[in-house]
Amino acid sequence: MSDNLLKNKLAQGEAAIGPFVNLSSGALIEIAAYAGFDFVILDTEHGPLDIPTCEDLCRVAHGVGITPIVRIRENDAAQVLRALDIGAGGVQVPQICTKADAEAVVQAAKYSPIGMRGVSPYTRAARYFADGGAIFERLNEESMLLVHIEGVEGLENLEEIVTVPGLDVIFLGPYDLSQSLGIPGQVHDPRVVDRMKEAVELINGAGLTVGTFADSPETAKMWIDAGVKYISLSVDTGIYLRGCRQMVEEVKG
């Protein structure tokens, strides 16, 4: 059994939900865990978070039993390395368009004999050399690799992408996909939904987990029913805004 709680849950075929996180508050990570979320995605692509802040948020997440995932800005080996060295449970990589893109993620994220991840036993992920460096096989097993398919090119190459060993989750990005299809923001349009459902079937058939973003519980349930198991449910800022707005409207009428 892996120490990665999220990886274990997905391996058992269960659905997992968690928000994107833009705010640098450890309290919000704790609240997310107490609310019952399974993971948080620390967003360095669209959010303002940096690696030192993400490392501290990973500590908080591990302390309350919720898995931290770091979304990096681009498919860059140095960014993959830093996200995993701080002890994130996985790295989420945007804009994967080809099999070569996916292979580059695996090479950057896994140690030999699987990949060529840079080695330092003095990181948080390696427990600062507390185990004498005998930890790299475990890290290969524990770390999750989640790659984003966000455009038509990625969908067209999906059959090849799912054959890359080492991937855990193929994340379908509905907003960027809608833009790629020429209907930006229209994530509930049948042209987006139908293409995503075709991709879900292909990914599940390859034995990988499918992920996507849902902006509401209703959308999340729809995608779970369609076979998606890794659900990014909203964003911390959006959750807070909706909660505040609802209370204000209830008071002011």
Catalytic residue (one of 46, 62, 148, 188) = 46
Instruction: Give the pLDDT of residue 47.
Output: 87
Contact between 108 and 91 (Cβ < 8 Å): no
Residue 195's contacts (CB-CB under 8 Å, 6 or more residues apart) are 155, 177, 181
Nearest-angstrom CA–CA distance, 148 and 136: 26
Residue 231's contacts (CB-CB under 8 Å, 6 or more residues apart) are 15, 16, 17, 18, 211, 212, 214, 220, 223, 224
Contact between 76 and 14 (Cβ < 8 Å): no
Instruction: Give the pLDDT of residue 2.
Output: 59
Nearest-angstrom CA–CA distance, 161 and 93: 14
Helix (H) or strand (E) segment spanning residue 217: helix 217-225
Nearest-angstrom CA–CA distance, 22 and 16: 20
End-to-end CA, the chain: 51
Helix residue ranges per DSSP H, 12-98? 26-35, 51-63, 77-85
Instruction: Give the pLDDT of residue 1.
Output: 39
Residues of the chain with pLDDT under 50: 1
Instruction: Give the pLDDT of residue 180.
Output: 94
Exposure letters 43-70 (e unless 16+ CB within 10 A, then b): bbbebebebebbbebbebbbeeebbbbb
Give per-residue pLDDT as tens, 103-123.
999 999 999 999 999 999 999
Q: What are the structural domains, with CATH classification, of the chain? A: 5-143+217-252 (3.20.20.60)
* pTM of the predicted structure, to 2 decimals: 0.96
Instruction: Give the pLDDT of residue 99.
Output: 98
Instruction: Give the pLDDT of residue 253.
Output: 82
Tokens of residue 61, six digits: 């997440």
| Annotation marks residue 46 as catalytic | yes
